[in-house]
Each structure stands twice: as structure tokens, then as C-alpha cells.
Structure 1
């Protein structure tokens, strides 16, 4: 019973905030997703990442090990879903990237924070940054046939990760008034991202629900297996391993739908995957947390 209450306390705020966004739209209130997303991804999330890395008590070597483990985990997930897409004869440009990359920002970061505290958040931002790098290069290439490595360097979240890692490694800390300002801006990130997730889900139209359910279940199984195997292989400490498993197993991200729309892939099946996998995560993420806590 105590474990169930603990998991509920961790996951309930995440889904309640997403429900706020969903209800907000259904009531007819305005919500400009493009503006809020840009605000989050260019300002509040980079500040959150920078502050989280400076504040973490995790050793730089442990963060480096988790970075490498994240690359390997996503590599295994990519191979597994390349096989699934080929066997099922699905369109690679439409399905492969959404199945690989999860919602490590909107869902993964708050779950790591609520479940494991500041140390968990420090680990989670590393996985989030690795996913971002892969998504803006390999992911864009899958959808459009032309990813741009130069674009990754310009992404604020990548710059914030590198700068935060440098400050952590050197033991530096900005002046207190600057740190407090960045911390305050970063505190916006998690509630904004969760509410925006609910708004986006409320606006998506889904088709081929049966296929989306099957693929969403396969995604959870494959991602958990790969992340768990990599965490054992790299001998990650328990919190790092738990964060890696939760982050890699997060549902399909809304950004996958936006990329499909932008580059001319079939966006409707992706919308179905986003909605179904997110709804499924109401069950799967608490189950995963119950095993890794």
C-alpha cells in the first residue's frame, strides 16, 4: 500500500497538470501552443537544465557514464524499431522516429524530479539532452531525409547542457542574483510543459486506434527492455538506471507530430500514437516506477 501511495503521489501531479491543459482547451479558452513551446524550449527549459546540473550532487563521471548509456540505449531502440517497421511494412518516415523518441521533456523531467528529487532531475536532463541531439539530427533525417548537425549546436537546451556540465566539472557557480533569476525562470518549465501537453492532446485527431494501441504497447516493452539492459551493462547506480528506464520509456512526444506536419510525413498516424501512448502511460509509467523505486 505504501508503494502504491508513493507512486500515486509521484504520477498524479503530472497527469493532473496535463488534464488542466486538456480541460482548458475543451472549455474554449485560448492557448497559443507555438508561443508557449518556444518560450519553454528557448528560455525556461535551458535555465532548468543549467540550474539542475549546477545543483546536482552527482559526480561528473556518473553523468558521463549516463550520457554514453543513453546513446547506446537509443541505438538499441532504433535497431529494434527498424525491425518492427520493416516486418510490419510501415512507412519509415512516418513511424520510426516517433517510436524511438519519447516525451522526455514534458513527462520525463517532472517524473524524475518528483520520484528522485534534484539528483534524479540532474540525471534526467542528461537523457533529455541526448534525446534532443539525436532527435534534431537523426530524427529529422528520418522524417525529412535531411537532418542538420549545425542546428543542434544552436539549440539552447544543448548549449545549456554543455555550459552546465562545464560549471559542474569546474565547481563554478554564477553570482547569487543571476543564479536565483535563472532558477526562477527554470521553475516555469515543468508546469508549462505539462499543461501544453494536455492542450496538444486535446487538439489532436486520432485514427487507426487499434494499430496505435499495439505499437504503443510494443514501444513500452522494447524501451524498458533496452534501457534496463543498458543500465545493467554500464553498471549504473540505482537512481541513474531508474531515470534512464523511465525517460526512454516515455510515450511518443508531441514534437513527433509537429515534425511530421512540417516535413510532409503522414501526420495522422503519428497523432494517434501521441494520444494513445500518452493515455497508456497513465498505467505504464506508474507500473514502471513501482519496479524501479
Structure 2
């Protein structure tokens, strides 16, 4: 019961902030998704990623093993999700990236901190870094329909992730005044993204939610299986294994919706996936934690 309540304490703000966006649209107020997307993806989220990586402390050997395990797990998830999308005759641009990359940031990180303490949080940031690099390189390439890899590399999110990884590896830190500024900018990312999610939910169709539910269930099964295989392959200890499974099994991230909006993919089904998978996470995340702890 305590585990369920703790997960609810983490996920409840997601729905409350999304409700703000939902009500905002229903009241007829203006909400410029294009501007909000540009603000968050160009400025706020990159700052959030960089500071999170820079502040993480983890042993080099554990870092290497978990990084490789995370990479392999995501490759397995991507291959399995691609097969699923093709079998279901769905659009690859719209569905593949959201099914692969979860909400390892604003849900996975706090959940890892609660369940496994500071050490678990450090491991979770490593998985988050791998996800971010893959999501904003390969993921963006998929959502944008291919095209020039140069455009993908120029994404601020990619630069922030690589720079944060470099600072983590070298043990560097920015001056306190700069760190506080970047952290403050990054803190506005999560509420803005969640409010934007509520705006999308206000425009959802029933069909999108029905489809999103069964896809979300299959996503959880694929992610748990893939992360378990990868963790055993690299012989991870119990805590990093548990963190890897929880992180990769997190629901679809709000950034998936923002990327769909930014690159002209069908954003409505993605918003449905975000909502459906987050709702399901209230049930399946406590079950996963009960099993791995």
C-alpha cells in the first residue's frame, strides 16, 4: 500500500498539471503549441538534461556496464517495437519513437530516488542519458521522416546531453551562479510540458485512446523483458538491474508529443499514448517495484 501511495504521489502532479491545460483549452483561451514546443525543446529541456547529468556521481566501472546494458536494452525494444508497428500496420513516424522511449526524466528519476536512494538515482540518470542521446538523435530522425543527420546533430537537446555526459565523465562542474541559473531554467520544462499535454488531451478522439491502451500494455511487456535480458547479459548487480527495468518500463514521455508536433507527425495518437501509458503506470510500476526490490 505504501508503494502504491508513493507512486501516486509522483504521478498525481502529472494529471493535475495536464488538467490545467485541458481546462485552459475548454475555456477557450489561446495556447500556442508551436511557441511552447520551441521554448521547451530549445532552451528548458536541454538545461534540465545538462544539470541532471553534471550533478550525478557514479563509479566508472558501474557507469560503463550500465551504459552498455541500457544501449542493448533500447536496441531490443526498438527492434521489437518496429515489428509491432509493422504487424499492426501503423505509421512508423508516429508510433515507433513513443513506444521505445519512456518518461525516464520526470517520472523515472524521482521514482528511482524514492525506491533506491541516492545510489539508485545516480544509476537512473545514466539510463536517462542513454535514452536522451538515442531519443534526440535516432528518435528525432525517425519522427522527422529521415532527412539530413546534420539537422539532428544540431538539436540543442543532443548537444546538452553530450556535454552533460562529458561533465559527468570528467567530474567537472560549472560555477555555482551558472549552475543555479541553468537549473532554474530547466525547472520550468516539466510543468510546461505537462500543461501542453493537457491541451492535447482536450482534442483527443476516442479511437486514439482505445488504440493507445493496448499499445501501452504491449510496450510494458516488451520493455520489461528487454531490460531484464540486457541486465543479465552484462551481469549487473541488483540495484542497477532494478533501476534499468523501472526506467525503461516508464510510460511514454510528454516530449514524444512535443517532437511529433515539432516535426509534423500525427501528434494526436502520441498524446493518447502518453495519457494511456501514464494511467497504466499507476498500476504496473508498483508491481514492478515489488518484484525487483
Q: TM-score range by the shorter chain?
A: 0.7 to 0.9
Deviation at 1:76, TM superposition (A): 0.8
2:280 maps to what in 1? 280
Q: Does the CA-based 8 Å contact 1:22-1:202 persist in structure 2?
A: yes
Gaps of 5+ in 1: none
Question: CA separation in 2, counterparts of 1:117 and 1:25?
Answer: 39
Deviation at 1:226, TM superposition (A): 0.9
Question: CA separation in 2, counterparts of 1:223 and 1:76?
Answer: 9
Of stretches 67-76 and 144-153 in structure 1, the one that deviates more from structure 2 is 144-153
SS at match of 2:99: helix
2:61 maps to what in 1? 61
What does 1:163-174 align with in structure 2 at a 5 Å threshold? 163-174=163-174
SS at match of 1:73: helix
Deviation at 1:262, TM superposition (A): 6.5
Is 1:234 aligned with 2:243?
A: no
1:214 maps to what in 2? 214
Deviation at 1:64, TM superposition (A): 3.1
Question: CA separation in 2, counterparts of 1:238 and 1:38?
Answer: 40
Aligned residues: 293
1:83 maps to what in 2? 83
Question: CA separation in 2, counterparts of 1:134 and 1:168?
Answer: 18
Change in CA separation of 1:228 and 1:34 when aligned onto 2, cut-off 3 Å: farther
Change in CA separation of 1:183 and 1:237 when aligned onto 2, cut-off 3 Å: farther
Deviation at 1:154, TM superposition (A): 1.9
Deviation at 1:117, TM superposition (A): 5.7
| Structure 2 length-normalised TM | 0.80
Is 1:252 aligned with 2:233?
A: no
| Structure 1 length-normalised TM | 0.80
Question: CA separation in 2, counterparts of 1:255 and 1:179?
Answer: 23
Q: Does the CA-based 8 Å contact 2:51-2:182 persist in structure 1?
A: yes
Change in CA separation of 1:51 and 1:219 when aligned onto 2, cut-off 3 Å: same
Gaps of 5+ in 2: none
Q: Does the CA-based 8 Å contact 1:66-1:236 persist in structure 2?
A: yes
Is 1:190 aligned with 2:179?
A: no
Question: CA separation in 2, counterparts of 1:197 and 1:135?
Answer: 19
Of stretches 165-174 and 251-260 in structure 1, the one that deviates more from structure 2 is 251-260
2:47 maps to what in 1? 47
Question: CA separation in 2, counterparts of 1:27 and 1:255?
Answer: 25
Deviation at 1:214, TM superposition (A): 2.0
2:149 maps to what in 1? 149
Of stretches 53-62 and 235-244 in structure 1, the one that deviates more from structure 2 is 235-244
Change in CA separation of 1:256 and 1:51 when aligned onto 2, cut-off 3 Å: closer
Is 1:25 aligned with 2:25?
A: yes
